[in-house]
Amino acid sequence: ILILLLCISFFSCQNTTSEKVSKNEKEANYVEENYDKTETTITMRDGIKLFTTIYTPKDKSKTYPILLQRTPYSAKPYGANKFKKSIAPNKHLMQEGNIVVYQDVRGRWMSEGVYDNMRAYIPNKKDSTQIDESSDTYDTIDWLIKNVEHNNGNVGIWGISYPGFYSTYATVDAHPALKAASPQACIGDFFFDDFHHNGAYLLSYFMATPLFGTPKDTPTDSSWYKFPDLKSKDMYQFFLDAGPLKNLDKYFEYEQLDKPNIETSEKVTDFFWKELKEHPNYDSVWQSKGIIQHLKNVKPHVATMVVGGEFDAEDLYGPLETYKTIEKHNPTNYNTLVFGPWSHGQWASTKETNSVGNYYFGDSISLNYQAQIETKFFNHFLKGTGDKNSGLPEAYVYDSGKKEWNSYDSWPPKNTSKVAYYLGDSQKLTTLKEKETAIQFISNLKKPVPYTEDIKIVFTPRKYMTDDQRFAARRSDVLVFETEVLENDITLAGDILAKLQVATTGTDADWIVKVIDVHPSDIEENNENMQKHLKLSNYHLMVRSEVMRGKFRNSFIHPEPFIPNKKTAVNIKLQDVHHTFKKGHRMQIQVQSTWFPLIDLNPQTFVDNIFEANAEDFKNQTHTVFTSSSIEFSVLN
Ligand code: PG9
């Protein structure tokens, strides 16, 4: 009997394995079995040829919309007999049949031309020598509908992150055939997305910085650079030991990077690192790259669905500002928002469970979005009536506290009111404004506050935004303000405005505000966390956080020093949330001045350019927060 049981289990295991292999293989071969692939170049109005890959359903008995993605990350695999494992924004759109097109943007990978990192838009172009990503998209769409067989004349564009930026760009001076655009985790402005937050440089983006850094006139294989000798290091200690940003220059010289195809004898500084260093303020270089400013005249034939992650560590500003700006300036357009419990681009995941970092939100959240929201959006506008009755809500937003989706007819919802909570004495967070007192802490640049307790402080962290923050609450250089245990639910829906009254013995300082949901100690565990041996008891979930580099408190263009020991107002807008602080939980605010190595260290002495600061500029200072400071929440009525 034992031998028989062993045989049964052996063969059933074999079947499972072979089934699994065949399932994976089948999925991998689905595109090859059901699509024809062609590779071509499309000539732009200035003569530059952009490499374009076209996947067309083998069933030529009908016509199909074109789904387009323009990317700096490559349209590979290259070669007519090499197929992507999956195409289209999701498997439903792949399996229903669409013509799917991927294009290397100008200057990247197989396309000709010179790459320009977030190329500035040129309004009222005079002639065909004036090009930008809007004209490249227009020329691409025009060629596709005239030359690709079996297309139905309707084009959609989508993309996550940088491809999301190109999707937003496509809506500017849009081609008449563009009927649906879905910018997702889209970069809006590099001074507030990815590399900077309110003027602080995201040191955590150090490794991603050279991604686009090749000199404008150098063809590049666009590979992500690797800093082989750094990956295994303790990033907190590495950056602390490195000292001022200028000591990192050596990592951005091409001799230091695996750039075998660049013939150069002298050291060539990475173009983007150079751009970051030479433009520490929100000057014309950064301003010209922002796409948000150009969304004031999106043509009504372009339906937009903007998608963002509530815990997106890279592009949170972008999706929210893209949706809000289109809504504000084009109120009659079909423009909608999806904002869910995701990290950067996580809604494209095919995983069954949805957690961000250590925090579990539920099962099938991404899968349901793909099947019921994204597929419905593109089908309605590219294959359906294309009218405004898509059956989808204006704003489909996830309450990260109640762990449920809500549909709203506007975002933020109309039925909210601004409620101020004051940073009171003895760690109280209260709606009562009390007599002003001062709370001080020493900001020690030799022991900056870590942004996470997870020692695997990684390059380009994407999951830290839900990391437990109780470790920080226990530090003397983190001020903590907390409500009593809540007797009723409080639901936030919209942005948060921190109105700090501060002082410092120095002449510059960073101010970081974190909004924390303190879970009760007796909270029931969910089995997902139990499987990961995670305890929700007393979990300090960071619902939202933001930094303001103090020199930019009044202007991102004209920075100003602090006057030592003078009470000064510092206002910080924290990006939108939709979160219910449930009865039995506590609302907590943490205020600190370092956030390392997520952001670089502020010398706490005013210097014109922190990228050029010297070691002696970095000084410990004593900071003060006055209890007249308040946090203004958008509370759902
Ligand atoms: N927004 C993301 C990014 C931009 C630039 C450098 C690295 C990452 C993204 O495109 O994923």
Residue 194 Cα to ligand 1 middle (Å): 7
Cβ(619)–Cβ(605) below 8 Å = yes
Among 62-76, 454-468, 597-611, the least confident range: 454-468
pLDDT tens, residue by residue, 321-339: 999 999 999 999 999 999 9
Residue 4 pLDDT > 50? yes
Q: What is the pLDDT of residue 215?
A: 44
Residue 514 Cα to ligand 1 middle (Å): 24
Pocket of ligand 1 (CB under 6 A): 161-162, 187, 194, 208, 211, 314-315
Tokens of 501: 């009254």
Q: What is the pLDDT of residue 527?
A: 73
Q: 1 falls in which pLDDT band (50, 70, 90)?
A: low
Among 334-338, 396-400, 458-462, the least confident range: 458-462
Q: Which residue lies with its CA nearest to atom 6 of ligand 1? A: 208
More confident residue, 332 or 425: 332
Nearest to 493 by CA among 429, 571, 409, 422: 409
Q: 487 falls in which pLDDT band (50, 70, 90)?
A: very high
Taking residues 525-544, what's their average pLDDT?
83
Candidates 194, 203, 212, 343: which one to mutate for ligand 1, based on the most atoms within 8 Å of Cβ? 194
Q: Which position has the token pair 């095919």?
A: 350
Tokens of 481: 């303000």
Residue 309 pLDDT > 50? yes
Residue 32 pLDDT > 90? yes
Chain mean pLDDT for the chain: 91
Residue 590 pLDDT > 60? yes
Taking residues 462-473, what's their average pLDDT?
92
What percent of the chain clears pLDDT 90, i.e. is strictly above it?
Answer: 78
Q: Which residue lies with its CA nearest to atom 8 of ligand 1? A: 208
pLDDT tens, residue by residue, 343-377: 999 999 999 999 998 899 999 999 999 999 999 99
pLDDT tens, residue by residue, 241-279: 999 999 998 888 765 555 544 454 456 677 888 899 999
- The Cα 69–Cα 52 span in angstroms is 10
Ligand 1 atom closest to the Cα of residue 315 is: 1
3-class DSSP assignment, residue 54: strand
Q: 318 falls in which pLDDT band (50, 70, 90)?
A: very high
Cβ(282)–Cβ(557) below 8 Å = yes
Q: 27 falls in which pLDDT band (50, 70, 90)?
A: low
Residue 209 Cα to ligand 1 middle (Å): 9
- The Cα 487–Cα 503 span in angstroms is 35
Identify the helix (H) or strand (E) that includes residue 180.
strand 178-184
Q: Which residue lies with its CA nearest to atom 9 of ligand 1? A: 161
Tokens of 111: 């396309």
Residue 222 Cα to ligand 1 middle (Å): 13
pTM: 0.93
pLDDT tens, residue by residue, 6-15: 665 555 555 5
Identify the helix (H) or strand (E) that includes residue 590.
strand 586-592
- The Cα 398–Cα 170 span in angstroms is 28
Taking residues 93-102, what's their average pLDDT?
98
Asked if the interface predicted TM-score (ipTM) of this complex is over 0.85, the answer is yes
Rg of the chain taking only CA atoms, in angstroms? 26
Candidates 116, 119, 161, 223: which one to mutate for ligand 1, based on the most atoms within 8 Å of Cβ? 161
Tokens of 144: 């596709």
The one-letter amino acid at 124: N
Ligand 1 atom closest to the Cα of residue 162 is: 10
More confident residue, 534 or 216: 534
Ligand 1 atom closest to the Cα of residue 344 is: 11
* Nearest-10 crossing angle of helices 162-170, 133-147: 80
pLDDT tens, residue by residue, 160-177: 999 999 999 999 999 999
Candidates 162, 270, 272: which one to mutate for ligand 1, based on the most atoms within 8 Å of Cβ? 162
Q: Which residues of 415-452 are buried (b: 16+ CB within 10 A; e: fewer)?
A: ebeeeebbbbeeebbbeeeeeeeebebebebeebbbbb
Q: What is the pLDDT of residue 187?
A: 98
* DSSP notation for 464-513: GGGS--HHHHTSTTSEEEEPPPPSS-EEEEEEEEEEEEEEESSS--EEEE
Q: What is the pLDDT of residue 222?
A: 39
Q: What residues does 362 pair with on adjacent strands?
A: 354
Residue 73 Cα to ligand 1 middle (Å): 10
- The Cα 568–Cα 554 span in angstroms is 11
3-class DSSP assignment, residue 91: helix
Cβ(417)–Cβ(637) below 8 Å = yes
Q: Which residue lies with its CA nearest to atom 1 of ligand 1? A: 161
Taking residues 485-491, what's their average pLDDT?
98
pLDDT tens, residue by residue, 151-161: 999 999 999 99
pLDDT tens, residue by residue, 213-250: 554 434 344 344 556 667 677 889 999 999 999 999 88
Q: Which residue lies with its CA nearest to atom 2 of ligand 1? A: 161
- The Cα 166–Cα 72 span in angstroms is 9
* Positive or negative torsion for Cα 251, 201, 464, 293: negative
Q: What is the pLDDT of residue 74?
A: 87
Q: What is the pLDDT of residue 228?
A: 60
What percent of the chain clears pLDDT 70, i.e. is strictly above it?
Answer: 89
Q: What is the pLDDT of residue 22?
A: 56
